[in-house]
Amino acid sequence: MTATTNHADTPAFTETMTMIEAIRDALTLEMARDERVVVLGEDVGVLGGVFRATDGLQQRFGERRVIDTPLAEGVIIGAAVGLAVSGLIPVPELQFLGFGHQAFHQIGQQVARFRFRSQGRHPMPITIRSPFGGGVRTPELHSDAFEAMYTNTPGLKVVTPADAYDAKGMLLAAIRDPDPVLFLEPLRGYRLVSGEVPTGDYMVPLGRSNVVREGDDVTLIAYSAAVQMCMKAAGVLSSEHGVSAHVLDLRSLVPLDVEGLVAAVERTGRVVIVHEAPLTSGFGAELAATIQREAFYSLQVPIERVTAPDTPYPLGGTEDFYVPQISDVVRGVLTAMER
Amino acid sequence: MTATTNHADTPAFTETMTMIEAIRDALTLEMARDERVVVLGEDVGVLGGVFRATDGLQQRFGERRVIDTPLAEGVIIGAAVGLAVSGLIPVPELQFLGFGHQAFHQIGQQVARFRFRSQGRHPMPITIRSPFGGGVRTPELHSDAFEAMYTNTPGLKVVTPADAYDAKGMLLAAIRDPDPVLFLEPLRGYRLVSGEVPTGDYMVPLGRSNVVREGDDVTLIAYSAAVQMCMKAAGVLSSEHGVSAHVLDLRSLVPLDVEGLVAAVERTGRVVIVHEAPLTSGFGAELAATIQREAFYSLQVPIERVTAPDTPYPLGGTEDFYVPQISDVVRGVLTAMER
Amino acid sequence: MLAQFVPDGTAPSPIQYLAADGALAEGVTPSMSDDEVRAGLRLMMLTRAFDTKAMSLQRQGRFGTFSQVTGQEASIVGSASALDPRIDWVVPQYRELPALLRQGLPLSSFMLYFMGNLAGSRIPDNVNILPIQISLAAQIPQAVGLAWGLQLQQTGGVVIVYFGDGASSEGDFHEACNLAGVLKAPVVFMLSNNGWAISTPRHKQSAATSLAARAPGYGFPGVVVDGNDLLAVHAVTSEAVARARAGEGPTLIESVTYRMGPHNTADDPTRYVVASELDAWKPLDPIARVQRHLTARGLWSDDQCQVVEAELSAEIEEALVVARAAPPPSASQLFDHVYADAPATMLRQRAARLGVTA
Amino acid sequence: MLAQFVPDGTAPSPIQYLAADGALAEGVTPSMSDDEVRAGLRLMMLTRAFDTKAMSLQRQGRFGTFSQVTGQEASIVGSASALDPRIDWVVPQYRELPALLRQGLPLSSFMLYFMGNLAGSRIPDNVNILPIQISLAAQIPQAVGLAWGLQLQQTGGVVIVYFGDGASSEGDFHEACNLAGVLKAPVVFMLSNNGWAISTPRHKQSAATSLAARAPGYGFPGVVVDGNDLLAVHAVTSEAVARARAGEGPTLIESVTYRMGPHNTADDPTRYVVASELDAWKPLDPIARVQRHLTARGLWSDDQCQVVEAELSAEIEEALVVARAAPPPSASQLFDHVYADAPATMLRQRAARLGVTA
Ligand SMILES: Cc1ncc(C[n+]2csc(CCOP(=O)(O)OP(=O)(O)O)c2C)c(N)n1
Ligand SMILES: Cc1ncc(C[n+]2csc(CCOP(=O)(O)OP(=O)(O)O)c2C)c(N)n1
Ligand SMILES: [Mg+2]
Ligand SMILES: [Mg+2]
């Protein structure tokens, strides 16, 4: 901890923050900077969100800018469209991504297309925030990783940070982006993942991946909570198997950093993609398809995908059999190495 | 035309039918055979559906088994869940797949998971029929090919016929399947595509692909309306470019016929996947990912995907620039051949 | 019965100002001036003339699938005329051409849209409308959000959102009304009950005797108005707009009217419309009713009618000339307004589509 | 105001049979026999005891996130007791344990579910319930479909569907009620208005003074009942069930009650619940009310209470023993009930997961 809130606008100062604190910090900073920003959703006001992402915002910015809505995801997102048309910058929260299905028609067909449908007249500077992913024994439908279907939705950006620094910097970039962004927050990272975060204003540009570990034998490609898992797997691979893993954090699924992806693949020629969502048509499919097209002649072995199986997300007791574990990543890498 | 309706239950007799006629024939036959089958949806009754797929059903089977519902896709699908629990076999229609988004929460999280959520107590023998895909200058949101996101939904089967024979045989198989099936009908094929169809009862098993043209130089992989396009492209390739194309009709996206897919790829070592949906996270991504994994050492060149671009479906005047054309398929193949 | 809320056996009679013969009901004071009525009539007639034109263009293959307004002109024009286009907004379904025109949309732009040209999707700056909505009811939450945004920014603006009896069965209707009630958002919910949702008759759409009966369940008033009565629709909407502007919240207006033609150019209503019902509505035509009213008061004549019809037909032809002069659709249009700045992947796709290098 | 439907300024008083002190209101005839009341009381007490147990198991990490019924027992028990479990169905949200038990679900099964064991998701054959629903309001359309199916097959069965004041804001509520009205489906919509949706108070959920006011908008009656009054809830529900069974269609019951604890084990209500409001509800406890009523009539005593409490606690411990004896969760469970016959791709994934060859 190197700074107090007195120095909040001096980027040089940093503080240790959990991801949830970093997210809250970004929201607070941006609401203070730009009064067009409004936060809306279920329980975001008085309670400060079920994970406290919006804690303190209503006290500070008032009930007009931080609104507890009725319980209806379709109108939370649909109203955000209208708020954006009126000139505001809405930051709606979906309490869990599983409940984005209730708003799917508003997200996929309206938010994502409104700029196009009005041929530029009505841009949609909306940032939809939502926790997603599992590993923490939530009730049904609270843990699903539904990101892939949103990436099949032209007009929408889909991004997800893996650490606290990116959480803040990417959220600031998302809110300021003139286009709609689905900002996915790794639920299990909220309190577990923490790091040094500048107390001031900074942005992590959307659409650029990040090499979080350099290595020479195999390339692990991941995003969100899976990045931490890959880092741990890389540790095991190095210490127990003498395998040196290169780890790429995608950060942004749409737009995809094809250059960064190809560079990471070319580094080793062996690729393991890791995500929590089921295999079939998970985002790993797009990654593998892109890689085999753009880096075909660098690939020494088939791309492996380490993912959940094609089954519904189960109850907590079965969760660890479902969500990929470090050992699954290690096994995937060893498969790629042995070929 | 070799038979009259008098011989309707003798499979040996065939009749020339359009796809829409074949679909109607399957519905009629199955409703007559199994009185648990009920058809519900917007305008399916008196009107017989906006494309006449259900024409005559209400007259024949009555208002209790063929129901014009209020205009609300969520409850059409949600009610189908309850109807299934009660022991019936619902065949709901989504007037266009674009409006499946309104029912997305009921399809993805309920229909697809109910067997699992009740651990076998409540199977879901539901067949959701819906036209999809473009090429016929419909209004906005009527033409989108949203199939891929449904394939990221464990528990659901997703199938789509490319010709009249399959339309009838697969629909009969779908309705009789104990699991939920999303049965996608290629809108532009309804009246344009016709062929010899047995007048009696037969099934085309779900989960088996079909080689619709044998060839040696390149493998075209497609489903639904894109199959006809590939066949035409194959003709051009053969006559104008001396390229012999092998064409695989997937028929079923989930479950995927991996064996058939691999065999088709191994035949030529060059693969072009064709679909109408946008590139990113379209079903071509899963196909390419699967192929590079299962047939890596047979691939001579990168897999090409010929798809719509990552933009919203445009108005009619721009449609032909958006939906892949025969010339696009030819170009994709030539790219794969030149490498 | 143990129940505090029991549905009415029959719907209340719609509020009416003008009888079918054009006579003004006793004791009512119209909210429109004579000039406004004449302007309204002109707009209604323009719409009717355009319907005919569009139908024939569609038959010639020069127009896409199109839904006529015929029969519902008073409902749309009477309500839209209660707005101040400078600060108020119209959020349409797809059958509200005259409301868009009154807000300032050029007719040529509307034509371009139905010719399938993306240029027709471009809403000119300062025309306060949202795009035509094909996904039924999806516009209703958007309208509430827009009204809320105007309220937060204290612009004094009001939003009117149009939707059909069919669309009112969608969940979006409910979620939007409920949120609007809580926020007291300045929005008017204009439910065009035209008797049909494609082939589904109103009585199969809901068992409610009146769809306006839903309003109290959201904490605001509901009105049933004769939708073929320009003056009644204007009066009712004006009051709702005034309430909204004054911060008193939303109103649900059920405008009872009738779709006099097919659902759209792809539809064949003879398969399901009962001829006698259609015949019963014919004498209730909203345009003839205003014409009779004005004629009786010496403010309208057959001669005037012919002059206006000629003017309108010229107006339509002119708009058609403008629309036809627009650059033809091009592949590059696909990519122009997807994102503010096209990402690299899209630039590559664009280059490939246009046959150029990125 | 030009409006036929104007919202009430205040909500009607809920139907009440038992005053807070347990006295029966004058002129009412309970619909429950004394035996039924005692059985209902026992079930309410079981639920309360289980809440405490579940809370402590959760604190020990042996139970997942769990929502207590505390305060709402009369609402759930009174309504579920109006059903015939052999032919009628319960479609729950997640806070209706006693309704599931009354339908025949073993308590151990419910425990297993909350222990995260998929075996707890297995609904025994012949227990007429749908799975607990986490996706709010998604069960309501399903309940209507189920009721419709029972109607089509003329089983004589009725469906009761439970959902919260929060869930009633979802589009699914609207679509389901509207379809049920059209079909006259044999379904009872039981809206548990417990004052909160997590931290969102009822008055922010809707501007309607009464949520039952929505029923006429779907063409059927709406009732507001004192949800802390076992007898009133039973009477109102019995009437609704009888109407449904007789083919007279649905009823919307708004049961006004109060969530006396946190939303669930992950919630901290001190952040938002006003203590005075909570205090005001304490004397209205539904269990104490029935006990007072029975005591006054000589049908209940402290001694009996102790006996029953001991029995119930033994019952809970027994169920726990059964639940704990179940086989532990396994990877193969993931694959067992996804499809009737697992396709080849799934068999491969299963084999890989289990470390065996397909
Ligand atoms: C969400 C959705 N579902 C279905 C359709 C197909 N559809 C187009 S118009 C229509 C009927 C609309 O009826 P109504 O809302 O009463 O409007 P009207 O056409 O009568 O003006 C239907 C079912 C659609 N466009 N959107
Ligand atoms: C569709 C959906 N949105 C959001 C949630 C998250 N959530 C769980 S419970 C709850 C509040 C529910 O309130 P209510 O319906 O009144 O039921 P209660 O908990 O009061 O019994 C919320 C928002 C959810 N489970 N499902
Ligand atoms: Mg209509
Ligand atoms: Mg509640």
List pLDDT tens digits, range D28-42: 999 999 999 999 999
Please check whether residue A188 lies inside any domain of the structure.
yes
Nearest to B278 by CA among B316, B219, B241, B322: B322
Which chain A residue's Cα is nearest to D204? A70
Looking at the structure, do residues B167 and B241 belong to the same domain, yes or no?
A: no
The average pLDDT across D261-271 equals: 95
Best substitution site from B69, B76, B94, B95 to test ligand 1's pocket, by max atoms within 8 Å of Cβ?
Answer: B95
User: Which residue out of B76, B85, B128, B182 would a mutagenesis test of the D interface target, given it has the greatest number of D Cβ atoms within 10 Å?
Assistant: B85
Give catalytic residues of B, as residue numbers: 142
The mean of the pLDDT values for chain C is 97
Please check whether residue A203 lies inside any domain of the structure.
no
CB–CB of C239 and D173 under 8 A?
A: no
Nearest to C218 by CA among C188, C258, C175: C175
Task: Nearest by CB to B154, from A285, A302, A311: name it.
Answer: A311
The mean of the pLDDT values for chain B is 95
Looking at the structure, do residues A105 and A188 belong to the same domain, yes or no?
A: yes
CB–CB of A109 and C148 under 8 A?
A: no
Q: Is D122 on the interface with B (CB under 8 A)?
A: yes
- Atom of ligand 2 lying closest to residue D259 CA: 20
pLDDT at A7: 32
Quote the minimal CA–CA distance from B86 to chain D in Å.
5
Q: Is the pLDDT of residue B55 over 50?
A: yes
Ligand nearest to the CA of A93: 2
Angle between helices B326-338 and B225-241 (to 10 degrees): 60
Q: Which residues of D touch C246 (CB under 8 A)?
A: none
The mean of the pLDDT values for chain A is 95
CB atoms under 10 Å from CB of B2, counted, come to 12
Looking at the structure, do residues A163 and A23 belong to the same domain, yes or no?
A: yes
**Helix/strand/coil (H/E/C) assignment for every residue in chain C:** CCCCECCCCCCCCCECCECCCCCECCCCCCCCCHHHHHHHHHHHHHHHHHHHHHHHHHHCCCCCCCCCCCCCHHHHHHHHCCCCCCCCEEECCCCCHHHHHHHCCCHHHHHHHHCCCHHHHCCCCCCCECCCCCCCCCHHHHHHHHHHHHHHCCCCCCEEEEEECCHHHCHHHHHHHHHHHHHCCCEEEEEEECCEECCEEHHHHCCCCCHHHHHHHHCCCEEEEECCCHHHHHHHHHHHHHHHHCCCCCEEEEEECCCCCCCCCCCCHHHCCCHHHHHHHHHHCHHHHHHHHHHHCCCCCHHHHHHHHHHHHHHHHHHHHHHHHCCCCCCCHHHHCCCCCCCHHHHHHHHHHHCCCC
List pLDDT tens digits, range D203-216: 999 999 999 999 99
List the CATH number of the domain containing A22. Answer: 3.40.50.970
Cβ-contact D250, D213 below 8 angstroms? no
Looking at the structure, do residues B312 and B240 belong to the same domain, yes or no?
A: yes
Q: Is the pLDDT of residue B272 over 80?
A: yes
Range of the domain at B292: 210-338
Looking at the structure, do residues B267 and B296 belong to the same domain, yes or no?
A: yes
Looking at the structure, do residues A28 and A162 belong to the same domain, yes or no?
A: yes
List the CATH number of the domain containing A274. Answer: 3.40.50.920
- Atom of ligand 1 lying closest to residue B141 CA: 25
Q: Which of B175, B198, B221 is the last residue of a domain?
A: B198
Residues touching ligand 2 (Cβ under 6 Å) are A 42, 71, 95, 99, 102; D 95, 134-136, 164-167, 192, 194, 196-198, 259, 263
Which chain B residue's Cα is nearest to D173? B75
Share above pLDDT 70 across residues of chain B, in percent, rounded to a whole number? 97
Please check whether residue A8 lies inside any domain of the structure.
no
pLDDT at B8: 40
Which chain D residue's Cα is nearest to B64? D152
pLDDT band per the 50, 70, 90 thresholds, residue D357: low
CB–CB of C198 and B43 under 8 A?
A: yes
C272 is catalytic: yes
Task: Nearest by CB to A149, from B141, B149, B305: name it.
Answer: B149
pLDDT band per the 50, 70, 90 thresholds, residue B10: very low
pLDDT at B194: 95
Please check whether residue B9 lies inside any domain of the structure.
no
CB–CB of A102 and D135 under 8 A?
A: yes
List pLDDT tens digits, range A97-151: 999 999 999 999 999 999 999 999 999 999 999 999 999 999 999 999 999 999 9
Best substitution site from C69, C136, C200, C257 to test ligand 1's pocket, by max atoms within 8 Å of Cβ?
Answer: C136
pLDDT band per the 50, 70, 90 thresholds, residue B12: confident
pLDDT band per the 50, 70, 90 thresholds, residue A8: very low
CB–CB of D141 and B75 under 8 A?
A: yes
Looking at the structure, do residues B262 and B119 belong to the same domain, yes or no?
A: no
The mean of the pLDDT values for chain D is 97
CB–CB of C146 and A255 under 8 A?
A: no
Q: Is the pLDDT of residue D115 over 60?
A: yes
Q: Which residues of D touch C251 (CB under 8 A)?
A: 3
Please check whether residue B1 lies inside any domain of the structure.
no
Q: Which of B198, B233, B248 is the last residue of a domain?
A: B198
CB–CB of B122 and D123 under 8 A?
A: yes
Q: Which residues of C touch A258 (CB under 8 A)?
A: 344-345
Which chains, if any, share at least 3 CB pairs under 8 A with chain D? A, B, C
Residues touching ligand 1 (Cβ under 6 Å) are B 42, 71, 95, 99, 102; C 95, 134-136, 164-167, 192, 194, 196-198, 259, 263
CB–CB of B75 and D182 under 8 A?
A: no
CB–CB of B155 and D179 under 8 A?
A: no
CB–CB of C124 and A114 under 8 A?
A: no
Looking at the structure, do residues A160 and A34 belong to the same domain, yes or no?
A: yes
The average pLDDT across B103-115 equals: 98
pLDDT at D49: 98
Please check whether residue A11 lies inside any domain of the structure.
no
Q: Which residues of A touch B309 (CB under 8 A)?
A: 154
What one-letter code names the amino acid at C324? R
C259 is catalytic: yes
Q: Is D171 on the interface with B (CB under 8 A)?
A: yes
Looking at the structure, do residues B306 and B181 belong to the same domain, yes or no?
A: no
CB contacts under 8 A, B 176-215 vs A, are none
Quote the minimal CA–CA distance from B157 to chain A in Å.
12
Catalytic residue among C259, C289, C292, C350: C259
Best substitution site from D136, D163, D206, D265 to test ligand 2's pocket, by max atoms within 8 Å of Cβ?
Answer: D136
Looking at the structure, do residues B188 and B101 belong to the same domain, yes or no?
A: yes
Which chain B residue's Cα is nearest to A288? B289
Residue nearest to atom 20 of ligand 1 (CA): C197
Structure tokens at B289: 């990912």
Maximum alpha-carbon separation in chain B:
60
Please check whether residue A144 lies inside any domain of the structure.
yes
Sequence-distant (≥ 6) Cβ neighbours of residue B257 within 8 angstroms: B207, B208, B209, B250, B251
Whole-number Å distance between alpha carbons of D7 and C342: 50
pLDDT band per the 50, 70, 90 thresholds, residue B208: very high
Quote the minimal CA–CA distance from B137 to chain C in Å.
7
The average pLDDT across B239-264 equals: 98
Whole-number Å distance between alpha carbons of A263 and A86: 43
Which chains, if any, share at least 3 CB pairs under 8 A with chain C? A, B, D
Its sign, for the CA torsion A106, A112, A118, A124, is positive
Share above pLDDT 90 across residues of chain A, in percent, rounded to a whole number? 94
Question: What is the full DSSP assignment across A90-103?
Answer: EEEE-SSGGGGGGG
Looking at the structure, do residues B24 and B137 belong to the same domain, yes or no?
A: yes
Quote the minimal CA–CA distance from A209 to chain C in Å.
14
Whether residue C12 is preceded by a cis peptide bond, meaning omega within 30 degrees of 0, is no
- Atom of ligand 1 lying closest to residue C94 CA: 21
List pLDDT tens digits, range A180-203: 999 999 999 999 999 999 999 999
Q: Which domains does chain C carry?
A: 34-327 (3.40.50.970), 329-358 (no CATH)
Whole-number Å distance between alpha carbons of A158 and D292: 59
Please check whether residue B317 lies inside any domain of the structure.
yes
Q: Which of A150, A167, A198 is the last residue of a domain?
A: A198
Least confident interval from A67-76, B130-139, C349-358, D322-331: C349-358
Q: Is the pLDDT of residue B103 over 80?
A: yes
Q: Is the pLDDT of residue A10 over 60?
A: no
Nearest to C18 by CA among C289, C199, C206: C289
User: How many domains does one find in chain B?
Assistant: 2
- Atom of ligand 1 lying closest to residue B139 CA: 25
Looking at the structure, do residues B219 and B313 belong to the same domain, yes or no?
A: yes
Whether residue A255 is preceded by a cis peptide bond, meaning omega within 30 degrees of 0, is yes
Between strands B218-222 and B271-278, the pairing is: parallel
pLDDT band per the 50, 70, 90 thresholds, residue B11: low
